[in-house]
C-alpha cells in the first residue's frame, strides 16, 4: 500500500494487509438506498470514493463536505479541485452540525459513527467498484441520488467512449500488480479489470490467487512476468515490507524498464478516474514493450 492507503488504514484503525483485504473483498454491493426524495442540497461524503463522484456530478453548492482525504494527491483523483470544497474529519457531531440531507457512506464505515447517525440523516452506502461495469452502475446510482441524472448519463457516455477507444486490445504480455509485502492483486478487483482491458494477462489468475494474495519473491522470479505494475506513490525502499520490490534478483528477472508505474490515486477507487487509469496503463505497457530486454 502507498502512503495514502496507510493514512486511511490509520484513520479507520486497521493494520497490515487487513485494510487492503477489506477494501478488495468486503466492499459489498455497489450501493443501497431508499428512493431519493428530491434533490439534496447539503451532501456530506464519508466515503473517499464518493468524493470524486460528487466533484464530477454535483453542483458545488450541493456539497456540504468531502472527506479529509479528498485533497490528498496520493489518494484523490481530483485533489486539486477538492481544495475548493469544505472537508470533514468524519466525527458524528461535526457531520450533524453540517445539517446534511444526504450522507454518502460505505459498508465498512465505523460502526459507532454509523450508529450515531442512523435515523438522523438519509444514507447512501456505496461499496468499491471493482470493474468498469460497476463504475457505470455506481455513476448512475449516485447521479440519481443527488438529482443529477443528465450529468450522470453524460459522464457515463464520456467514460464509455474513452474506454472503448482504449480497450479491447489483443493480449500482449503477462503482468503482476506487485505490492509491498509480496502481495499481488488477483481476480475480482479493479486492477484485474484494468489489466484485462489493457490486453494484459494477470499473473495472479495463473496462480489461482484470490482478490489479494501473497506470493514469494522466488515465485515471481520463477514466473518472470513480462511486466510488474507498481502503484506505490513513494520510494519502494522506505520500509522492510517494500525491500523485495527492488531486490537485485527481481531486477534481473523483470528489469526496471519493464515496470509500469500508475499513481495510486487513479486506482484506489473505481470512478471517473477509470478511463485515465486505463489509458495510462496502456501507455506504460507500450513504453515497456518498446524497451530493450
DSSP secondary structure of 118-129: BTTB-EEEE---
Number of domains observed in the structure of the chain: 2
Element (H, E) at 183: strand 183-185
Report which DSSP code applies to 17. T
pLDDT greater at residue 88 or residue 2 = 88
Within a domain: residue 81?
A: yes
Which domain covers residue 142, as residue numbers?
3-164
Are 22 and 118 part of one and the same domain? Answer: yes
Bridge partners, residue 202, by sequence: 175
Give the distance from CA 41 to its chain's centroid: 27
Q: What is the pTM of this model?
A: 0.81
**Half-sphere exposure (Cβ direction) of 270: Cα atoms closer than 13 Å:** 26
Are 154 and 185 part of one and the same domain? Answer: no
Are 35 and 154 part of one and the same domain? Answer: yes
Are 95 and 142 part of one and the same domain? Answer: yes
Within a domain: residue 201?
A: yes
Are 98 and 195 part of one and the same domain? Answer: no
CATH number for the domain harbouring residue 21: 3.40.50.1980
Q: What is the CA radius of gyration of the chain?
A: 19
What confidence score (pLDDT) does residue 123 get? 87
131: left (phi over 0), alpha (psi -120 to 50) or beta: beta
Are 258 and 283 part of one and the same domain? Answer: yes
Report which DSSP code applies to 228. E
Per residue in 63-89, pLDDT (tens digit) is 999 999 999 999 999 999 999 999 999
Give the distance from CA 26 to its chain's centroid: 14
Are 112 and 251 part of one and the same domain? Answer: no
Per residue in 218-247, pLDDT (tens digit) is 888 888 999 999 987 544 445 444 556 667
Write down which residue in 120, 143, 164 finishes a domain.
Answer: 164
Instruction: Specify the 3-state DSSP secondary structure of 252.
Output: helix
Residue 113 corresponds to which cell in the numbers above? 459513527
What confidence score (pLDDT) does residue 251 get? 81
Find cell 489479494 and name the residue.
Answer: 212
Residues with Cβ within 8 Å of residue 277, at least 6 apart in sequence:
194, 262, 266, 267
Are 217 and 91 part of one and the same domain? Answer: no
133, pLDDT greater than 80: yes
Count H helices and E strands in the chain, helices first.
13, 12
What confidence score (pLDDT) does residue 233 get? 58
Write down which residue in 133, 164, 195 finishes a domain.
Answer: 164
Per residue in 200-209, pLDDT (tens digit) is 999 998 886 6
What confidence score (pLDDT) does residue 265 get? 95
Within a domain: residue 142?
A: yes
Tell me the C-alpha to C-alpha distance, in Å, between residue 16 and each of 6, 10, 63, 166, 246.
Answer: 9, 10, 33, 35, 20
Q: How confident is the model at residue 293 (pLDDT cuts 50, 70, 90)?
A: low
What confidence score (pLDDT) does residue 82 get? 97
291, pLDDT greater than 60: yes
Find cell 446534511 and name the residue.
Answer: 100
Mean pLDDT over the full length of the chain: 82
Within a domain: residue 137?
A: yes
Within a domain: residue 33?
A: yes
What confidence score (pLDDT) does residue 252 get? 78
8 A C-beta contact, residue 5 and residue 268: yes
Write down which residue in 117, 138, 164 finishes a domain.
Answer: 164
The arithmetic mean of pLDDT across residues 9-26, rounded, is: 36
Are 271 and 153 part of one and the same domain? Answer: no
Within a domain: residue 169?
A: no
Are 114 and 142 part of one and the same domain? Answer: yes
Give the distance from CA 244 to its chain's centroid: 24
Instruction: Specify the 3-state DSSP secondary structure of 286.
Output: helix
Within a domain: residue 156?
A: yes
Are 13 and 145 part of one and the same domain? Answer: yes
What confidence score (pLDDT) does residue 234 get? 43
Report which DSSP code applies to 73. T
Are 138 and 184 part of one and the same domain? Answer: no
Find cell 461535526 and name the residue.
Answer: 94
Amino acid at each position: 500500500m502507498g502512503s495514502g492507503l496507510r493514512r486511511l488504514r490509520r484513520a479507520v484503525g486497521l493494520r497490515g494487509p487487513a485494510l487492503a483485504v477489506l477494501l478488495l473483498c468486503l466492499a459489498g454491493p455497489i450501493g443501497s438506498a431508499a428512493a431519493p426524495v428530491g434533490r439534496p442540497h447539503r451532501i456530506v461524503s464519508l466515503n473517499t470514493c464518493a468524493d470524486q463522484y460528487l466533484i464530477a456530478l454535483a453542483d458545488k453548492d450541493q456539497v456540504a463536505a468531502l472527506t479529509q482525504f479528498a485533497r490528498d494527491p496520493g489518494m484523490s483523483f481530483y485533489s486539486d479541485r477538492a481544495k475548493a470544497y469544505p472537508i470533514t474529519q468524519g466525527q458524528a457531531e461535526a457531520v450533524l452540525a453540517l445539517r446534511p440531507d444526504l450522507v454518502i457512506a460505505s459498508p465498512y464505515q465505523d460502526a459507532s459513527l454509523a450508529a450515531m447517525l442512523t435515523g438522523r440523516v438519509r444514507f447512501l452506502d456505496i461499496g468499491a467498484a471493482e470493474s468498469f461495469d460497476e463504475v457505470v452502475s455506481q455513476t448512475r446510482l449516485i447521479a440519481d441520488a443527488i438529482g443529477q441524472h443528465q450529468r450522470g448519463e453524460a459522464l457515463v457516455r464520456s467514460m464509455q467512449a474513452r474506454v472503448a477507444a482504449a480497450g479491447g486490445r489483443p493480449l500482449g504480455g503477462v503482468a503482476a500488480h506487485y505490492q509491498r509485502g509480496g502481495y499481488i492483486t488477483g481476480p475480482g478487483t479493479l486492477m484485474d479489470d484494468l489489466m484485462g482491458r489493457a490486453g494484459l494477462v494477470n499473473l495472479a489468475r495463473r496462480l489461482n490467487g484470490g482478490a489479494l494474495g501473497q506470493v514469494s519473491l522466488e515465485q515471481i522470479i520463477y514466473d518472470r512476468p513480462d511486466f510488474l505494475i507498481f502503484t506505490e506513490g513513494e520510494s519502494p525502499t522506505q520500509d522492510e515490507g517494500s525491500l523485495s520490490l527492488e531486490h537485485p534478483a527481481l531486477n534481473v528477472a523483470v528489469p526496471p524498464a519493464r515496470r509500469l508505474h500508475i499513481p495510486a490515486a487513479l486506482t484506489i477507487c473505481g470512478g471517473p478516474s477509470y478511463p485515465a487509469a486505463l489509458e495510462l496503463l496502456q501507455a506504460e505497457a507500450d513504453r515497456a514493450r518498446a524497451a530493450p530486454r
